[in-house]
A = this chain, B = another copy of it.
Amino acid sequence: MARPSGSDAGVTRPRVLAAAERLFAAHGYAAVSMRMIAAEVGIGAGALYHYTPDKQTLLAGLMRAHLEEVLIAWQAADPGGAPMARLDSFVRFHIGFHIERPDAVFVAYMELRALEPDNFTVIEALRRRYEAVPEGILRDGVALGQMQVGDVRVAGMALIAMLTGVNTWFREDGRLDRDRVGEIYAAMARGMVGAG
């Protein structure tokens, strides 16, 4: 038996990506073997190489897909207009988007060190583009005299760190639901920029 009945790349490919993402998030890139991923999908290790040229590309592809998705999703969610309203939208967007993809977030933020130089350059550029989003909002807010921060860049990084931190403790069946969490953080964000 070499080609099992029912085998289909259209079905297997997404399962490979999902298994890799889940395992990378749970154990870390270096601690996950190709054989583990294959076992989770239910195929042999060799068959993985129909879907990726190598393990490194598998990781880089997951990270790139996630980061590009975030950027596109924010483009769609960005209301434009007044900086304070945009800040509010950004806070709720970031929390909501990241809560739904904890594994992808974990991998994209923690496995940068596992990337080879070429891949690192690409991923790092995408990450910076996203970090520029809050920074731009704060810059506009400060320029209009509606926000006050000691340093726009630092405040932007602080905001992202604070928001991404939600993923370390949030549980779907926990004490607070997503909307409530969004409200709490939106209020803290307003305070951070001197508009509490």
Taking Cβ atoms with an 8 Å cutoff, the residues of A that contact B are 26-31, 110, 113-114, 149-151, 154-155, 157-162, 164-166, 168-169, 176, 180-181, 183-185, 187-188, 191-196
Contact = CB atoms under 8 A, between A and B. Distances in A.
Nearest to A160: B165
Nearest to A189: B192
Which 7 pairs from chain A and chain B are nearest by CB? A161-B165, A150-B184, A30-B31, A191-B191, A30-B30, A162-B162, A188-B192
Contacts of A110: 110
Contact of A114 (B31, B169, B180, B196): B31
Majority secondary structure, A binding face: helix
Copies of this chain, how many?
A: 2
A8 to B, nearest CB: 33
Contacts of A164: 161
B27 A113 contact: yes
Contacts of A161: 161-162, 164-165, 168
A155 B162 CA distance: 9
Contacts of A183: 150
Contact of A191 (B26, B169, B194): B194
Contacts of A192: 188, 191-192
Contacts of A162: 158-159, 161-162, 165
